[in-house]
Structure 1
């Protein structure tokens, strides 16, 4: 795996790569659902929240009805605020349950999580090798970037409120679905351009084989993360690592 030590920049996934999958699905998602109604009641008139909601409504209007036959939101009457609010909450919960990657949903979740992090209810776990690897990469002059389906806001929060303290100073930038779909090669080409590196000089680490394939197609070096709690990996052509120690 000598090629995995020959790079100028590092691009990391979060879920199943730096952070246990269970934190996302068993802690963050349930927290956002549990606090959703109360958060919207308190922040309904916030222009940023309304922007998230309008983005979500546009997404819902483009989707088919769910398996319960609920409408998608096209032509939604927003004049009855309470009825509209109730319907929006129901659809958002459905989107969370189905792990939808809508930018509006991710942004709204990030706002709710910020409240949880700030009041001490949330603290992000990292795999043991992650903090030391981040420091080593920075000491060697290899900037580290994050690319996750979670919003940039949520990414920053996670690394600000880790169990090891605030690690944001170890990271040089963040990318989310506004950059593009993580399973499409063009997204990785865009990131390479934005960070000023050739794709072949960037190492991408993820637990998702489709993301690995997309980054590889774009020309990046790729390592697949095999961590406790991750789904079993099918046979694939990529180097598999169980710790960042194999990369630094």
Structure 2
């Protein structure tokens, strides 16, 4: 079936992994402790603090202990939903003050804009929170890219390495799985999307192959009309 929608990962796909690990994570690690302490009584923050207590199994954790848990999760790159939500809030402040600008590869910018003009629906699926996704594209180095996207998905839709997550996304966007192209740099994610019936292309920007999937080094060589 011809492609009708493109579902793309961010980290290592549209954007450099180094931006996340060398810029975003350190920024969050520096600013998150004070943010959590200062905003602990704010409802949306309080909900995430409680979620940290639940996920860590430390129901009585103090605010300071919650901060320690969060920093530990950052260090191990844990895909914890409350961590992602709080990181997103911290990053929002950074983007708003101009301390952060989202990195998106030029070839991804060009292709996404072209695909949108050609009538394809574009969606994002990343382990980062939906808020963080909107920030990286909304405050990108090339300007606001959010008008290109019809929707965003994160770990609340399920783990990225499980086929059921991709089946849920296909149902939500009301597009048959085999009419959706999923782009990622992680073979396990591509495998899961493929198992759900989606078409896949792997991004290996430094060369190499993602076994079992067509692999390219740039968005520029992806031709949706031939899939």
Give the TM bin, normalised by the shorter chain.
over 0.9
Shift of 1:31: 0.5
Q: Which of the numbers 68, 88, 108 marks the counterpart of 1:130?
A: 108
CA contact (8 A) 2:181 2:198 kept: yes
Give the 4+ runs in structure 1 shifted more than 4 A.
232-235
Alignment match, 1:121: 99
| TM-score of the superposed pair, with normalisation by structure 2 | 0.94
| TM-score of the superposed pair, with normalisation by structure 1 | 0.87
**Gaps (5+ residues) in structure 2?**
none
Computed over aligned residues only, the root mean square deviation of the Cα atoms, in angstroms, reads 1.4
Partner of 2:156: helix, strand, or coil? coil
CA contact (8 A) 1:20 1:227 kept: no
Q: Which of the numbers 11, 15, 37 marks the counterpart of 1:15?
A: 11
CA contact (8 A) 1:146 1:175 kept: yes
In terms of Rg, which structure is larger? Answer: 1
Shift of 1:197: 0.7
CA contact (8 A) 2:202 2:210 kept: no
For the pair 1:190 / 2:179, whether they are aligned, the reply is no
Alignment match, 2:200: 222
Q: Which of the numbers 200, 204, 221 marks the counterpart of 1:246?
A: 221
Distance in 2 (alpha carbons) for counterparts of 1:246 and 1:9: 17
Alignment match, 2:152: 174
In the superposition, relative to structure 1, how do residues 233 and 182 fare at CA in structure 2: closer, same or farther (>3 Å)? farther
Q: Which of the numbers 19, 44, 50 marks the counterpart of 1:48?
A: 44
The equivalences for 1:1-248 within 5 A come to 6-61=2-57, 73=58, 75-76=59-60, 84-228=62-206, 236-248=211-223
CA contact (8 A) 2:101 2:140 kept: yes
Moved more, 40-49 or 13-22: 40-49
In the superposition, relative to structure 1, how do residues 235 and 167 fare at CA in structure 2: closer, same or farther (>3 Å)? closer
Distance in 1 (alpha carbons) for counterparts of 2:115 and 2:200: 16
Distance in 2 (alpha carbons) for counterparts of 1:142 and 1:164: 21
Distance in 2 (alpha carbons) for counterparts of 1:244 and 1:214: 21
Partner of 2:141: helix, strand, or coil? coil
